Amino acid sequence: MSIRLHNIGKHFGSGRQRTRALEPINLDIQEGELVGLLGPSGSGKTTLLRIIAGLENPDRDGGARILFGDRDVTDVHVRDRRIGFVFQHYALFRHMTVFDNVAFGLTVMPRRNRPTSGEIRARVHRLLEMVQLESLAGRYPAQLSGGQQQRVSLARALALRPDVLLLDEPFGALDAKVRQDLRRWLRHLHDELGFTSLFVTHDQEEALELSDRVAVMSNGRIEQIDTPDDLYRAPGNRFVFEFLGDVNHLEGEVRGGILTCGDARLSVELPDGPEELLLRPHEVRLVEAPSPEARLPATVTAISPVGAEVRVELAADWMAAPWLATVRHADYERLDLRRGQRLYVEPRRWHRFPEGRETRRDAPRASLA
Amino acid sequence: MQRIGDAPAVRRALILAAVALAALFLLLPLVAIFAQAFAQGVGVFWSNVSDHYTLRAIGLTLFITVLTIPVCLVFGVALAWLVTRFSFPGRRLLQTLIDIPFAVSPVVAGLIYLLLYGRNGWLGGWLDGHDVQLMFAWPGILMVTIFVTCPFVARELIPLMQAQGSREEEAAVTLGAPGWTLFRRVTLPNIRWALLYGVILTNARAVGEFGAVSVVSGAIRGQTNTLPLHLEQLYQDYNTVGAFASASLLALIALLTLAAKAGLEWRAARQEALA
């Protein structure tokens, strides 16, 4: 079932303490899509999710509309919206067994629609089988690990066969390994059961890996919504670019096709004036000698050879903040990198987001200071 | 390194002082009550307890308590729910107002009720015109008892419900639970021990309340005399054994209350360990 949001705005508080949590937002999610809401804390992503669920009300004055398929649910109470909601800290009923937790939604149905207790038992066991927790049906939530609790809460949310599954930071409280497994498992489940899902996360990697499309939010606004690929390759503005990964800044003055910043120089085809370039760590190379186009001296301050690539931290007087470069293990060995070594950085690519292209934005400039 | 107060001499002295004080101020009076009550034998004790007026006083006290508890229970749960689950202007003020019955001397509470509902009171004149008498009758006693005991349940519940948050309730709503089902199956099981604890405290206070009740009851023997008032009257009449027999009944209720409280705490701790 598709989800359509129209003019969803939200203010908290009243009078002088009234603060805006969401600017009026429009968002269309296709049937069967898995969409991630990605943003830093305070960006309004959880508020948006809770409004879709019906746990919060959008502002009344903006003509807000929420549609599930053709059904207008704007004024429908949470309990009648037919959504499954997975809470950040699972919110399992602590005094009930795993079985009773999963069965809860079925046992509170009005008597005339309620399945018989035999049917309920069969359905709960099927669900527990699906989340691989059948053997723990008699346990209490406190006796389970975080990952197991999260799977119980998923099974509980799916028990009523909701049209829409909403997940609030579903893996936020789990350790890295469990998180990876659960992520893959959720994606699999989503594809198999075909519900429409929307999940909130502050972890870019998680959003990019799991979602069909990602909506990047900041300051109560959707900055960009795109497939993970497009988002990473063609960020619409500076915030999105900076939020999706590590960024190196090169800020200086362009004169006659040369950008100068302290003792660093770089040939660029840009008009004269102040300029700021942004570079991803994998978009720079480390070389032993400067080239005619680039002369960016730097000193190696830290090396982390763990993983597919070696992460090298660089410092120099002309840098406002340390740079990060990722190099292949082969290059790492060839260059014989050591701490304290002096090298030159050679940009392969750079990005720029001139003010004109982000007139709408008033967001994070702090990192430039 | 030595921790503060870890010197054996200091420790022993403190323990000894604590035990001595507890014995002197808590245990000894309790023993004295029972000793006095049975001073002239079980027969005399029994005849005092089964005296007509004593039985009437016990009956009235239990009657008032039985009516007070459900009122305080409903009021306390509703108030705790309101204060912890909703945010509205004046929420903090309300939380402070809950404590008024604790802050005000019970005698003052009694006097306020007398002033409002007595025959010459603001509302009392109107009530009198309609032949309703609240003061110097059991409804008045009930009213002041409720006033004095109403914070107990709410005070027990509010910190607990604040700490637990509303996540589980939200989860229940998204699963389609109607309001009453939600309360019965999710909220209530989570607060039941605190609730029972609040009821026990309410019970103890309702049985033992003297000050507020003495102002509004009129202490008519056999009619508006509660057990604590009856006790005081017996003592004024130089019936020491009778007074202490009644006192021993009150002390017994207090001891049972303490036992129940300890039992509950033990169970709650065990649940906590399990959860």
Q: Would you state the pLDDT for residue B269?
A: 80
Mean pLDDT confidence for A7-23: 86
Whether residues B171 and A85 touch (CB distance < 8 A) is answered with yes
Whether residues B171 and A80 touch (CB distance < 8 A) is answered with no
pLDDT greater than 70 at residue B217? yes
Cβ-Cβ contacts under 8 Å between A and B: the total is 67
Whether residues B168 and A93 touch (CB distance < 8 A) is answered with yes
Mean pLDDT confidence for B53-78: 94
Distance from CA of B177 to the nearest CA of A (A): 6
Q: Would you state the pLDDT for residue A365?
A: 33
Whether residues A83 and B174 touch (CB distance < 8 A) is answered with yes
Average pLDDT, chain B: 89
Q: Does B275 touch chain A (CB under 8 A)?
A: yes
Whether residues A104 and B185 touch (CB distance < 8 A) is answered with yes
Res. B275 pLDDT band, cuts 50 70 90: low
Q: What angle do CA B142, B144, B148 make, to 5 degrees?
A: 115
- Nearest neighbour of A160 by CB, restricted to B168, B175, B189: B175
Q: Would you state the pLDDT for residue A334?
A: 87
Extents of the domains making up chain B: 40-274
Q: How far apart are CA B134 and CA B216, in angstroms?
A: 9
Query: Which residues from A are below 8 Å from B183, CB to CB?
Result: none
Q: Which CATH architecture has domain B40-274?
A: Orthogonal Bundle (1.10)
Residues comprising chain A, all counted: 369
pLDDT greater than 50 at residue B248? yes
C-alpha torsion angle, residues A68, A70, A75, A77 (rounded to 10): -50
Q: Would you state the pLDDT for residue A367?
A: 32
Query: Which residues from A are below 8 Å from B178, CB to CB?
Result: 79, 108
Whether residues B175 and A105 touch (CB distance < 8 A) is answered with yes
List A312's β-bridge partners, or say none: A303, A325
Q: How far apart are CA B199 and CA B205, in angstroms?
A: 10
pLDDT greater than 70 at residue B32? yes
For residue A144, the chain B residue with the least C-alpha distance is B275
| CA distances for B22 relative to B19, B30, B201, angstroms | 5, 11, 21
pLDDT greater than 80 at residue A257? yes
Q: Does A170 touch chain B (CB under 8 A)?
A: no
Q: Does A127 touch chain B (CB under 8 A)?
A: no
- Nearest neighbour of B275 by CB, restricted to A55, A80, A94: A94
pLDDT greater than 90 at residue A66? yes
Mean pLDDT confidence for B74-90: 91
Distance from CA of B203 to the nearest CA of A (A): 27
Burial of A217 (0-12, 13-18, 19+ CB in 10 A): buried
Q: Provide ipTM, 2 decimals.
A: 0.80
Q: Does A318 touch chain B (CB under 8 A)?
A: no
pLDDT greater than 90 at residue A19? no
Whether residues A92 and B171 touch (CB distance < 8 A) is answered with yes
Whether residues B185 and A79 touch (CB distance < 8 A) is answered with no
Q: Would you state the pLDDT for residue A368?
A: 31
Query: What residues contact B77, with CB distance under 8 A and at least 6 apart?
Result: B153, B154, B157, B191, B195
Distance from CA of A17 to the nearest CA of B (A): 12
pLDDT greater than 90 at residue A166? yes
Q: How far apart are CA B115 and CA B135, in angstroms?
A: 10
Whether residues A93 and B181 touch (CB distance < 8 A) is answered with no
Query: Which residues from A are below 8 Å from B186, CB to CB?
Result: 93
Mean pLDDT confidence for A70-91: 92
pTM of the prediction? 0.80
Q: Would you state the pLDDT for residue A172?
A: 80
pLDDT greater than 50 at residue A361? no
Q: Does A142 touch chain B (CB under 8 A)?
A: yes
Q: Would you state the pLDDT for residue A236?
A: 87
Structural domains of chain A ordered from first start: 3-243 (3.40.50.300), 248-352 (2.40.50.100)
Q: Would you state the pLDDT for residue A132?
A: 87
In terms of DSSP bridges, do strands A221-226 and A3-12 run parallel, antiparallel, or are they unpaired? unpaired
Whether residues B174 and A159 touch (CB distance < 8 A) is answered with no
Res. A364 pLDDT band, cuts 50 70 90: very low
Q: Would you state the pLDDT for residue B2?
A: 63
Whether residues A55 and B167 touch (CB distance < 8 A) is answered with no
Average pLDDT, chain A: 88
Weakest-pLDDT range from A257-261, B125-129, B164-168, B240-244: B125-129
Other C-beta atoms within 10 Å of A127: how many?
Answer: 23
Closest alpha carbon to A148 in A133, A127, A170, A138: A133
